Amino acid sequence: MTKVKRHNLCAQLGEGTSAAPDSDLVDAEDGEATTIIEKDSIVLQGNVADQQTVDRLVNAYKDVNMGNLTVVNKLKIVAGSPAPTGKIEISDAILFETNSAELNQFEGTVLENFATLLEARPDWKVSIVGHTDSRGSDVLNLELSKRRANAVRSAFEEAGLDGDRFITRGAGFRDPVATNETEEGRAQNRRITLEVTP
């Protein structure tokens, strides 16, 4: 399964640690900072402008209950890099079947792990964006993507989180992460993304 572009590992951080990457060890590809939630880790990767930004991004996860997630710091300091957007990608999670807004699974997935993190960070507001593959009309895909975002908000609410923390919207098929020419690619595009505002 295709993942978001990777950058090399600088340091792996356990819970409660705050080590920063050693720039001498870095050989990262170009790209602005992105956060990827994987099965067992939160990966901070890409380029940031300064050490202060590295520290801020890493410390956002310090001293909180992250469930089964470990922070992996792959950030590289490159002067002039844009500020991180707060966008979080979900990696390796096929969340929806074709034409469905029903979540395949919540328990034991990256979404459940993320719910644990959100419980520990009640000040975080989250925008949930639903996505579809390219089959079907613009209008139907936009509506389906909105229903997918709402399904994830409902799952978070069932996990005990306040629904007022979440804003939902649909992006239709306009922001694919994989080709829509194959079934595997279309499956990856049937997803949600999260945008966090601390």
pLDDT at position 87:
80
Q: pLDDT tens digit string along 4-62?
A: 332 222 222 222 223 333 332 233 345 789 888 887 888 999 999 999 999 999 998 88
Q: Looking at per-residue confidence, does 118 or 66 come out higher?
A: 118
Q: What is the percentage of the chain residues whose pLDDT exceeds 90?
A: 48
Mean pLDDT, range 170-194, rounded to an integer = 92
List, as one string, the DSSP characters of the chain.
---SPP----EEE-TT--PPP-GGG--PPS-B-EEEE-SSEEEEEEEESSHHHHHHHHHTTTTS--TT-EEEEEEEE-TTPPPP--EEEEPS-----TT--S-S--TTSHHHHHHHHHHH-TT-EEEEEE---S-S-HHHHHHHHHHHHHHHHHHHHHTT--GGGEEEEE-TTSS-SS-SSSHHHHHHHS-EEEEEE-
- Delineate the domains of the chain, giving CATH numbers in brackets: 11-85 (no CATH), 91-197 (3.30.1330.60)
Full-model pTM: 0.73
pLDDT at position 5:
30
pLDDT at position 93:
65
